[in-house]
Amino acid sequence: TCEAEAARAAMGGSASLLPREALCEYQELTFLSKQEILLAYKRFSELLPKEERENACSARVPKSQILTLPELRANPFQHRICRVFSTSYDGDDSMSFEDFLDMLSVFSDSATSDIKSHYAFRIFDFDDDGTLDRKDLEKLVNCLTGQGEESRLSNMEMEQLIQNILEESDIDKDGTINLSEFQHVISRSPDFARYGSLQR
């Protein structure tokens, strides 16, 4: 049974503090295996001050700590990733263990390309208005090319690139890219699953 497997998987260390029924539920709700969930719990706990580790399931980790993870440290979209996966009411982009699991689940190799593209769209939608407009695309390009003077595109280059992206993606020609247009473009790019994901 799931309970028995969870008990075996939870042997040893802080992992045993994750309730068995929670482990089974998390496995059903994510693309992660039991081992990956237990490892995620251990990593999440280690981001907390020692005195809070016993209650990791109900604690929140500040964004500053989440950004220390090696997978996020070099990711140009690190701040957007925290914003999209955080359920914080304060808008401080802190994460609960379930937020953290959701993030790891979406970036896992087992997540479907539909799920990955849905979250990529949300991450690239900088103003959270449900479409990728010229401002979003400009920020996206700047994140990918870096903020340094030498790597920055000229206004003309940026304009041309955004024009090319819209010509390729904006099927209904309304000047923005919606989720279904984005997913259509992604479905023609087999490399997308690897692109932009958290590197292991």
Given a contact cutoff of 8 angstroms between Cβ atoms, the answer to whether 108 and 36 are in contact is yes
- In this predicted structure, the answer to whether residue 162 has a pLDDT above a threshold of 70 is yes
Most confident of 9-13, 148-152, 164-168: 164-168
Please state at what angle helix 113-124 crosses helix 97-106, rounded to 10 degrees. Answer: 110
Helix (H), strand (E) at residue 95? strand 95-96
Q: Looking at per-residue confidence, does 76 or 12 come out higher?
A: 76
Given a contact cutoff of 8 angstroms between Cβ atoms, the answer to whether 136 and 126 are in contact is yes
Tokens describing residue 118 = 């849905």
Given a contact cutoff of 8 angstroms between Cβ atoms, the answer to whether 113 and 189 are in contact is no
Percentage of residues of the chain with pLDDT beyond 70: 84
Distances (CA, A) of 78 to 72, 83, 112, 132, 198: 6, 9, 21, 18, 10
Domains, the chain, ordered by start: 20-107 (1.10.238.10), 113-196 (1.10.238.10)
- In this predicted structure, the answer to whether residue 1 has a pLDDT above a threshold of 60 is no
pTM: 0.84
Given a contact cutoff of 8 angstroms between Cβ atoms, the answer to whether 139 and 126 are in contact is yes
d(CA 81, CA 177) in angstroms, rounded, equals: 20
Average pLDDT, the chain: 87
pLDDT in tens, 74-83: 899 999 999 9
